Structure 1
Amino acid sequence: MSKSLNLLVTGGCGYVGTPLTQSLLAQGHKVTVVDIQWFGNYLPPHPDLTVIRADIRDIDAVPMEGIDTILHLANVANDPCADLDSKLNWEVNALATMRLVEKAIAHGVGQFIYASSGSVYGVKEEERVTEELSLVPISDYNKTKMVSERVLLSYADKICVNIVRPATVCGVSPRQRLDLSVNILTMSALTKGVITVFGGDQTRPNIHLRDMIRVYHHFLECGREFTGIYNAGFENISIRQIAEMVTKHVPAEIVCTPSNDPRSYRLCSDKLLATGFTPSFCVEDAILEVKAAFEAGLLRDEDNSYNIKTMKRLAVAA
């Protein structure tokens, strides 16, 4: 293990952020989490953990003194949530990122690891969607990720910047999400005995949650050698193929219906692999995890596991 670091994780109570934070603590790092906690806080107390419930738009609430590295995961996640409130989406995903990196530089933070999105490419026909291809974002969410990337790169001479473009994440987390393709198709098979596939031919890249966490650890360890932008996705498979994989483990009927979502894209992660990273988990592992957690009574089909349902409830409450 490398030396103990003082880390700031924004969005550290989220689907990826929760197990990421736990893994960083297990490695001996001191972690400060800043999270608005729209979806709760599933982090158990730890002597090296500080959790601050705050909105990252309030930059004064984000501590920077003594921080070595920022892992910036906080965002309004996915297209439906971004479309629900465009102003919120731009303020959280783009403007707050700019303020965060500027404050980081002012406080001498050495490294900024950013969770972007593989969806910034838009609809691509190329078999190898590499980091050199043009970005044609087709939603507000995609656009804020692209803008944030460019803002961060403009400061690359002042702070080490590692930008990760993840594929769709799958697997089980203490703060579960069931609005992600592998997870939702598996849960549908478990609870309904039917998997409804909209379209089905759309190809999507996938990454297991545990590999996603390992990517962030990888850049924490050697990111100063490998600055810039990196795709992170290792299984480019269609929605229909995912459904068929699910039915190998959970008996269910697959029903295909028309879809108005044209997005079909792949990710080529050769650049990441060239840095020495090797994936260890796969989509099938995630299917089996969701199945095991459900059968053990640890996972239920709840509204809180769907970002858009929670965001709509919060909007009504406000």
Structure 2
Amino acid sequence: MKVFLTGHKGYVGNVMTDSLLKENFDVLGCDLEYYPQGFIKRNFKEVPSLKKDIRDVSGEDLKGCDAVIHLAGLSNDPLGEINPRITEEVNFRATVNLAENAKKAGVGRFIFSSSCSTYGVNSDFVDEYSNLEPLTAYAKSKVNSEKELLKLKDDTFCPVMLRNATVYGLSQSQRLDLVVNNLTCSAYTTGKVELLSDGTSWRPLLHIEDMASAFIKCLKADEDKVSGEIFNVGSTDENYKVKDIAELVEETVPESKVTFSSKASKDARSYRVNFDKIKNNLHYKTKWKLKDGIKQFYDAIKDKEFTEKEFRDKNFYRVAYLKWLVQENKIQL
């Protein structure tokens, strides 16, 4: 099976590429290659790729592919708020256009990377049938994309929506603006597990390797099990309050202590998510527990002798790096 993978040089995309190759899929990547690489070693060779904006991908580019895994886009809530108009254009309109072109090109399966942030603020456990309360341009773009993609379902085209929990873990294109990665790196380089919020918000968490395995599970599944379906991706017992994440980091990283930033405030986004559907319907199960993932990340940055200067570097923060690219006239938004 040949997979067209958008965002293959991104944080998740690098790991997804290696995971697909390990399972003997053929991969054609598509990425503008904005972000730095090389944080960890690749397990596999580079794949054929297009250096192209997803807004410009044509049906011709997709010919010969059996499936699309669509990861590319403005990749988190703060990044989406830089320019909500561009967020809608890239994350929503380009997504729908990509799917329509894929369908016309004879691609049979389209797996869309959505997000549990679509649930916004919910005090109770939410599942795939719960009301959506998107708070940001990023989350709204995911909700709108899901609606339009599901309309494309027919006997020849199988759209699948995967609402991923908050991801963490190691990648060739590393991010430190994700809560687990950020707190662990802060603990090691500064001795402080510094919370930027009051820590009371809930987050479902998902190791990056487990995220990749969910997409592969959907590639391999019988069409009648996944076509037109929405799945939350994660594990129900991996929902944590942010302050509980911080305490696990404190336990793992020697001589670190939980602290609160002077600017700490309540995070409006808070959601606990039920993941029974993907477990029951596809027999999907995560392999990583949070404590083990924190230890893996800590061991990696310790082996690299990672410094506080590196921890603060724009290379690991999507908003800061994108703003730098704009300031240097390397890209336009």
TM-score of Structure 1 vs Structure 2, range by shorter chain: over 0.9
Q: 1:140 to 1:276 in 2, by over 3 A?
A: same
- Is the aligned partner of 1:60 residue 2:67? no
Once the two structures are superposed, the pairs formed by residues 110-189 of structure 1 within 5 Å of their partners are: 110-126=108-124, 128-157=125-154, 158-189=156-187
For the residue of structure 2 that corresponds to 1:75, the secondary structure is coil
Q: CA RMSD in A?
A: 1.9
**64-73 vs 274-283, which deviates more?**
274-283
Q: Is the 8 A contact 1:172 1:286 kept in 2?
A: no
Q: Are 2:239 and 1:236 aligned?
A: yes
Percent sequence identity is 34
Are the aligned partners of 1:25 and 1:48 in contact in 2 as well (CA < 8 Å)?
A: no
Equivalence for 1:226: 226
Q: 1:20-55: CA deviations, max 9, x gaps?
A: 101211222211000111104559697782121111
Distance in 1 (CA, whole Å) between partners of 2:165 and 2:99 is: 24
Q: Distance in 1 between matches of 2:213 and 2:60?
A: 25
Matched, 1:303 2:303: no
In the superposition, the TM-score normalised over structure 1's length comes to 0.94
Residue 269, structure 1, aligned to residue 269, structure 2: no
Q: Secondary structure at the match of 1:265?
A: strand
Structure 2 CA distance, aligned partners of 1:254 and 1:155? 48
Q: Secondary structure at the match of 2:138?
A: helix
Distance 2:193 2:244 in 1: 12
Secondary structure at the residue paired with 2:88? helix
What residue is the counterpart of 1:39 in the other structure? 35
Question: Which of the numbers 285, 288, 291 marks the counterpart of 2:295?
Answer: 288
1:29 aligns with 2:59: no
Larger CA deviation: 193-202 vs 38-47: 38-47
TM-score, structure 2 normalization? 0.89
* 2:258 equivalent among 254, 259, 271: 254
**Counterpart for residue 202 of structure 2:** 203
Q: Secondary structure at the match of 2:265?
A: coil
Structure 1 gaps of 5+ residues are none
**In 1, Cα distance between the equivalents of 2:60 and 2:212?**
23
1:267 positional shift: 1.0
**1:68-114 CA distance string (max 9 Å, x none):** 00000001011111111222211110011011011011011000001
1:30–1:48 CA contact under 8 A, matched in 2: no
User: After superposition, where does 1:89-104 map in structure 2 within 5 Å?
Assistant: 89-104=87-102
Contact 2:201 2:241 in 1 (8 A): yes
Checking the alignment, whether the CA contact within 8 Å between 2:74 and 2:87 is kept in structure 1 is: yes
Report the AA paired with residue 23 of structure 2.
Q
